Amino acid sequence: MPFDIVLPTVVTITAIAIVLLYGKFENKMKSLFEEKEFRIRDSIFLVIGMGIMVTIIAFAPQLAIQILFIIAYSFVLFLFTYIASDKWYLAVLPPAIFIVLYALGSPFWNLLVLDVFAIVFAVFVSIYMGGLFSWKSVLVFALLITCMDVIQVFGTGFMGDAAVKFVALELPVLIKVPTFPFEGAILLGLGDIFLTGLMAIQLTLKYDKRAGVIAAISTGFAFLLFEIALFHLEFARFFPATVVVILGWAAGYGIVRVKK
């Protein structure tokens, strides 16, 4: 029976890292945003904006996407490093390293380096935005972004078009990992990792770190089952992985409720 342990392991470890690191930066994030939280309306607008962005990327020239992403990515690297260290001369190092490696190209910018920068970006954004959501607003956000993902993958096809462009440009907007023991490779967008971390953070805030870790593990297990089905049925070239994230998180939430 073909299966893969690499992607589920990467998702699980990354989500656990997000939960643990958020605990270290929680007070700093709250003081930064002065205890502000997203309302349900804010979640709706955020999903609409993300859907519009996917559509724009599907039609935008590759050069424009490349320039805008490099600027945005470098800014996020600088911002989070500065928040963590309070030293600007340390904060400029991560974006400078990213720009230099990306500009040099192969062999300096390879698949491993791309995956590392992509995961770091997902971790930073999850920690940065994790405390902005309330329990209600994050549930609305998760439901709406899953609906948007399904529409953009199966309905418009724009999500697949955007993914193809990002792969061609070798931008760290998704991760590409080899499957093992089943031979091959699989892609996962950073939005799916971000949602995994975000939902795990919310369980941590509602209960404790153990609850967040349980959600991370259950989501990784959901990806394990999903890939088994994918390898057997080969039902789609692109699939809205947010569905897998939500199902995995729901299972983890159920486990936590039973334990409590």
C-alpha to C-alpha distance for 22 and 208, rounded to whole angstroms:
12
Q: What is the mean pLDDT of residues 88-111?
A: 92
Q: Tell me the pLDDT of the chain averaged across its residues.
A: 90
Q: What is the mean pLDDT of residues 222-237?
A: 84
Report the predicted TM-score, pTM, of the whole model to 2 decimal places.
Answer: 0.91
The answer to whether residue 35 scores a pLDDT higher than 80 is no
Encoded tokens for 215: 């959600």
Q: What is the mean pLDDT of residues 143-162?
A: 92
Angle between helical axes of 135-150 and 40-59 (0-180°, round to 10): 30
Q: What is the mean pLDDT of residues 184-208?
A: 92
What pLDDT is recorded for position 123? 92
What pLDDT is recorded for position 34? 65
C-alpha to C-alpha distance for 124 and 218, rounded to whole angstroms:
22
DSSP string, the chain: ---BSHHHHHHHHHHHHHHHHHHHHHHHHHHHHTT--B-HHHHHHHHHHHHHHHHHHHHS-HHHHHHHHHHHHHHHHHHHHHHHH--HHHHTHHHHHHHHHHHH-TTTS-HHHHHHHHHHHHHHHHHHHHTTB-HHHHHHHHHHHHHHHHIIIIIS-HHHHHHHHHHHHT-TTEEEEE-SBS-SEEEEEHHHHHHHHHHHHHHHHHT-HHHHHHHHHHHHHHHHHHHHHHHHH---SS--THHHHHHHHHHHHHHHHHH-
pLDDT band at 108 (very low <50, low <70, confident <90, very high): very high
What is the CA angle 237-243-248, rounded to 5? 120
Encoded tokens for 118: 């992509």
Q: What is the mean pLDDT of residues 74-99?
A: 90
Query: 127-141 pLDDT, tens per residue?
Result: 888 878 888 999 999
What pLDDT is recorded for position 147? 95
pLDDT band at 118 (very low <50, low <70, confident <90, very high): very high
